């Protein structure tokens, strides 16, 4: 029998630490996602959205014919559903799952917020009262009481109690409009109202969209996509924005903080605990528990020097930007963290956790601890459910489990030596403070630099890793190309972590990676050219930053007027589709890499890639190659610059730079 071909791990990742750990996995005979990806090729019919399995008469597979042309009349499922209907339903179900993940996260955060407001949540407090008071206005909650001389401030707790009730109502609201759509630029809100896509509530849009994709319900692809819009907006301008805001109130609004990233942050002589998932509720308390002198002494009694917490996926972003807790890695590194042999406990909550972790944990001493009743893993070591009334006690129990496991390390430990310093925590408010506050209103300094041409435009580069694409490669290739062309980058999620590992999240990166205009601006302000804005739900911070640019003036009157573009070059999760769709329908040109889930129907894909621009000013695109992706994003930015009449300014800047270089060169010749 022919010997099975060995995976070339050097082709799996651009990150040397990841390659090093994959070599260790191979030597130990431990299978990872990269091995499974090599053995199991994706189904091309499913990948292009042409497989319908919503009833038991199928699955009906209607692959795209080799010949181009409109084949709508001949390609259909048993019930007659066309390629467009099937593709739109599949796309819609991705939007549903993605929006549900964010909105359910948000509901949990809102429920905790209410308990914190009433003083019933052990260990938590209202940390950012200034932000609480600021957002109280959006919710119509007064921050003072009484009149005239009797007027006095209301307590933070009372404000939060009233606000929590109002926030919780948004989830079950049946009619009207979500509160935060009022934050959008006026023109944007008008477009949504004209189209009838303003979300009514956080839950209703998801339920209705699921209903519409049931067999024999909505069979008009444009109508399905329209409800996708309302659902995705209920995520971006609803659930995600709510959770970002109230997490900031409870845990602190992020400000710039330094922290390291990559598997080298683990410490051989410490108890290593990895916090993995998305919801920062329990991780916040694990952080508190791990700092307690009793707990540190307990770790020392077991022979460890201390306790090292590290994050994985978006929980990592949350605790890094609020506490400087280092990040062990992004999505494709979760299995590798365990393979170091140094992880005493991996504590998971919800989203992006691979089931394979249970098998890998068994090869080492690692305890895999699930903590959320919605997300259990068969084969996990134990389940310690989160309870917001006793969160600190639960966190202490989790930390003790890890400490007790420290003496059980069995395999030789191998922690890569490399980790990279980063500066993170660029919330929308922090950027406003750093860039614009003092001149002509918030964000005007950024606008001024865009108008003047030093900054060509803004890109949001976000999203996952995908094992079908070289780990981190597309993020980094795209972002470096954007920086070279003076495009400032806002990032979240696993993309942000890829940037951190490659050294793009430091102010020093400006001189190394940026064109002269952007480098000058970053040096003057003292910021990195890639701004880490947080986790997946924090893409709402990017919406707020875009809105602030519009409101600061000089760059049109809508998000779609801005010289801006978005991308998720290595996306893999359904959440990414929901995020992409709310960016598109908020007016942003948004490009995805790897694959695109509607390519089985040219008509549907044209609707998403072309028609939506006529309606919303933003549209989807798909480009697999990151260099080509950069070119298209820059071309879009230039198109918007020309429409604003500021393209000449940039030509002048380039001419000035060219002249400067000539002068410098002449100086050398002399």
3-state secondary structure of 225: helix
**Bond prior to 140 in cis (omega within 30° of 0):** no
Q: Are 382 and 336 spatial neighbours (Cβ–Cβ below 8 Å)? A: no
Cβ 112 to ligand MSK shortest distance, Å: 20
d(CA 493, CA 254): 15
Q: Quick one: 56 exposed, middle or buried, by C-beta within 10 A (0-12, 13-18, 19+)?
A: exposed
* 536 touches ligand MSK (CB under 6 A): yes
CA angle at residue 579 from 327 to 554, to 5 degrees? 100
CB closer to ligand MSK, 485 vs 535 = 535
CB closer to ligand MSK, 349 vs 429 = 349
CB closer to ligand MSK, 278 vs 501 = 278
CB closer to ligand MSK, 344 vs 349 = 349
Q: What is the dihedral of CA 547, 552, 557, 563, to 10 degrees?
A: -70
CB closer to ligand MSK, 249 vs 498 = 498
Cβ 536 to ligand MSK shortest distance, Å: 4
Q: Torsions phi, psi of 232, nearest 5?
A: -65, -40
* 573 touches ligand MSK (CB under 6 A): yes
User: Which of 296, 464, 483, 546 contacts ligand MSK by CB under 6 A?
Assistant: 464
Q: Torsions phi, psi of 307, nearest 5?
A: -120, 125
Cβ 90 to ligand MSK shortest distance, Å: 19
* 494 touches ligand MSK (CB under 6 A): yes
d(CA 92, CA 209): 7
The length of the chain is: 670
Q: Are 142 and 163 spatial neighbours (Cβ–Cβ below 8 Å)? A: no
Count residues near ligand MSK (CB under 6 A): 14
Q: Cα dist. 297→237, 396, 400 in Å?
A: 45, 13, 11
Q: Torsions phi, psi of 626, nearest 5?
A: -65, -30
* 532 touches ligand MSK (CB under 6 A): no
* 575 touches ligand MSK (CB under 6 A): yes
User: Which of 95, 314, 346, 357 contacts ligand MSK by CB under 6 A?
Assistant: 314
Q: Are 618 and 68 spatial neighbours (Cβ–Cβ below 8 Å)? A: no
Cβ 331 to ligand MSK shortest distance, Å: 4
Structure tokens at 43: 């189904």
Sign of the Cα torsion 158, 160, 164, 167 reads: positive
* 592 touches ligand MSK (CB under 6 A): no
CB closer to ligand MSK, 240 vs 381 = 240
* 350 touches ligand MSK (CB under 6 A): no
* 354 touches ligand MSK (CB under 6 A): no
d(CA 227, CA 218): 10
* 88 touches ligand MSK (CB under 6 A): no
CB closer to ligand MSK, 114 vs 581 = 581
Q: Running DSSP on this structure, what letter comes out for residue 362?
A: H
d(CA 628, CA 3): 38
Structure tokens at 418: 């490399």
Cβ 278 to ligand MSK shortest distance, Å: 6
* 94 touches ligand MSK (CB under 6 A): no
User: Which of 313, 327, 435, 555 contacts ligand MSK by CB under 6 A?
Assistant: 313
Cβ 636 to ligand MSK shortest distance, Å: 23
* 478 touches ligand MSK (CB under 6 A): no
* 493 touches ligand MSK (CB under 6 A): yes
Cβ 574 to ligand MSK shortest distance, Å: 9
**C-alpha distance across the termini of the chain, in Å:** 71
* 331 touches ligand MSK (CB under 6 A): yes
Cβ 542 to ligand MSK shortest distance, Å: 13
Q: Torsions phi, psi of 523, nearest 5?
A: -65, -40
CB closer to ligand MSK, 278 vs 323 = 278
* 319 touches ligand MSK (CB under 6 A): no
* 490 touches ligand MSK (CB under 6 A): no
Per-residue string for binding with ligand MSK, 263-302, x by CB under 6 A?
Answer: ---------------x------------------------
* 352 touches ligand MSK (CB under 6 A): yes
Percent helix / strand / coil, the chain, rounded to 5: 55, 10, 35
Q: What does 389-405 look like in DSSP terms, one character per residue?
A: TSHHHHHHHHHHHHHHH
CB closer to ligand MSK, 447 vs 578 = 578
CB closer to ligand MSK, 313 vs 490 = 313
* Residue matched to tokens 């409009």: 177
Task: Give the interface with ligand MSK as residue ranges (CB under 6 A).
Answer: 278, 313-314, 330-331, 352, 463-464, 493-494, 535-536, 573, 575
């Amino acid at each position: 029998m022919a010997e099975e071909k060995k995976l070339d791990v050097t082709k799996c990742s651009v990150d040397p630490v990841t390659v090093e750990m994959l070599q260790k996995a191979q030597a130990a005979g431990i299978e990872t996602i990269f091995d499974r990806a090599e053995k199991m090729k994706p189904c091309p019919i499913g990948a292009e959205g042409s497989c319908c399995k919503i009833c038991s008469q199928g699955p009906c597979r209607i692959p795209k014919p080799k010949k181009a042309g409109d084949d709508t009349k001949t390609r259909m499922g048993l019930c007659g559903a066309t390629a467009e209907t099937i593709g739109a339903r599949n796309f819609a179900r991705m939007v549903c799952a993605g929006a549900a993940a964010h909105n359910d996260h948000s509901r949990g955060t809102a429920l905790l917020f209410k308990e914190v407001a009433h003083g019933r949540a052990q260990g938590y407090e209202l940390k950012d009262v200034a932000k609480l008071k600021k957002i109280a206005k959006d919710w119509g909650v007064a921050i003072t009481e009484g009149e005239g001389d009797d007027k006095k401030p209301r307590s933070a707790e009372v404000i939060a109690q009233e606000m929590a009730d109002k926030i919780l109502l948004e989830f079950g609201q049946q009619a009207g409009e979500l509160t935060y759509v009022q934050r959008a630029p006026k023109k944007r809100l008008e477009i949504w109202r004209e189209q009838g896509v303003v979300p009514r509530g956080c839950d209703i849009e998801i339920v209705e969209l699921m209903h519409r994709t049931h067999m024999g319900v909505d069979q008009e692809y444009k109508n399905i996509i329209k409800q996708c819009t309302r659902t995705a907006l209920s995520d971006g301008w609803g659930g995600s924005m709510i959770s970002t805001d109230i997490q900031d109130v409870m845990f602190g609004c992020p400000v710039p903080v330094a922290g390291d990233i990559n598997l080298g942050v683990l410490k051989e002589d410490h108890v290593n605990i990895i916090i993995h998932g998305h919801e920062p509720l329990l991780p916040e308390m694990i952080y508190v528990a791990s700092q307690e002198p009793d707990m540190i002494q307990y770790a020392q009694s077991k022979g460890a020097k201390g306790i090292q917490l590290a994050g994985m996926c978006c929980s990592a972003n949350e605790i890094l930007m609020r506490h400087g807790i280092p990040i062990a890695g992004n999505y494709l590194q979760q299995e590798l963290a365990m393979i170091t042999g140094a992880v005493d406990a991996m504590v998971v909550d919800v989203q992006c956790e691979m089931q394979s972790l249970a098998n890998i944990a068994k090869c080492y001493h690692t305890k895999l601890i699930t903590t959320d009743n919605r997300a259990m893993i068969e084969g996990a070591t134990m389940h310690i459910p989160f309870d917001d009334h006793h969160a600190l006690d639960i966190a202490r129990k989790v930390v003790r489990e890890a400490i007790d496991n420290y003496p059980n390390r069995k395999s030789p430990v191998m922690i890569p030596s490399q980790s990279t310093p980063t500066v993170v925590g660029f919330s929308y408010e922090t950027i406003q403070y750093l860039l614009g506050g003092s001149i002509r209103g918030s964000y005007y300094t950024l606008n001024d630099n865009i108008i003047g041409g030093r900054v060509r435009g803004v890109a949001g580069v976000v999203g996952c890793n995908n094992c079908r694409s070289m780990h981190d490669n597309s993020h980094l290739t795209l972002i470096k190309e954007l920086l070279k062309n003076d495009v400032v980058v806002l990032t979240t999620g696993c993309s942000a972590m890829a940037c951190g590992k490659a050294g793009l999240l430091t102010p020093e990166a400006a001189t190394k990676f940026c064109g002269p205009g952007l480098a000058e601006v970053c040096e003057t302000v003292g910021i990195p050219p890639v701004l880490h804005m947080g986790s997946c739900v924090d893409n709402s911070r990017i919406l707020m930053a875009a809105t602030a640019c519009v409101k600061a003036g000089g760059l049109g009157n809508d998000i779609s007027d801005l010289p801006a573009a978005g991308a998720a070059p290595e996306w893999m999760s359904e959440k990414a589709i929901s995020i992409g769709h709310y960016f598109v329908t908020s007016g942003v040109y948004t490009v995805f890499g790897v694959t695109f889930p509607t390519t089985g129907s040219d008509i549907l894909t044209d609707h998403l890639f072309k028609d939506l621009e006529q309606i919303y000013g933003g549209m989807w695109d798909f480009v697999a190659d990151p260099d080509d992706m950069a070119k298209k994003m820059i071309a879009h930015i230039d198109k918007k610059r020309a429409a604003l009449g500021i393209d000449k300014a940039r030509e002048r800047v380039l001419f000035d730079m060219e002249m400067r270089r000539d002068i410098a060169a002449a100086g050398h010749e002399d």
